């Protein structure tokens, strides 16, 4: 193999390897119907879970400074029904002053980083 052909091989395969490393970072529509254990195996440990009247939501924030938090929805049998990236303008517009902390978590999930406010 010539030096140029090795360089071309590296230049074409390296981006594919990097992109494939991100495959488990977000849910995938191919996972619909899979069970909770599969979702956690693919996404890692969730931060929390919300129990609804006939379903549940597992929350997966991405990184302490991440720009994505995924809600993965499961029906009463434990099968994944859908997923959503919830850190978007539509959901932030739902947050109003005076809301309880749990209400905000139900909309955008829980942050891994919190700050206090300095007061005199």
Q: Work out the average pLDDT over 69-97.
A: 95
Tell me whether residue 71 is exposed, middle or buried, using C-beta atoms within 10 angstroms of its C-beta: 0 to 12, 13 to 18, 19 or more: buried
pTM: 0.72
Q: Which of 17-26, 31-40, 44-53 has the lowest mean pLDDT?
A: 17-26
Parse the chain into domains and list their residue ranges. 25-108
Choices 3.30.470, 1.10.1060, 3.30.1450, 1.10.20: CATH for 25-108: 3.30.1450
Percent of the chain past pLDDT 70, that is, above it, reads 77
Q: Between these two residues, 108 and 7, which has the higher pLDDT value?
A: 108
Position 69 confidence tier, pLDDT thresholds 50, 70, 90 = very high
pLDDT of residue 68 exceeding 50: yes
59, 48 Cβ separation under 8 angstroms: yes
């Amino acid at each position: 193999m010539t030096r140029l052909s090795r360089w071309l091989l590296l230049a074409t395969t390296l981006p594919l390897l990097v992109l494939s490393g991100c495959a488990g970072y977000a849910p995938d529509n191919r996972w619909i119907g899979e069970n909770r254990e599969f979702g956690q195996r693919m996404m890692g440990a969730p931060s929390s879970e919300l129990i609804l009247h006939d379903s549940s939501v597992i929350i997966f924030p991405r990184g302490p400074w991440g720009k994505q938090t995924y809600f993965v929805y499961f029906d009463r049998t434990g099968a994944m029904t859908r997923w959503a990236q919830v850190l978007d303008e539509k959901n932030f517009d739902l947050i109003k002053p005076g809301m309880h902390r749990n209400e905000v978590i139900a909309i955008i999930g829980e942050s891994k980083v919190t700050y206090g406010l300095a007061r005199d």
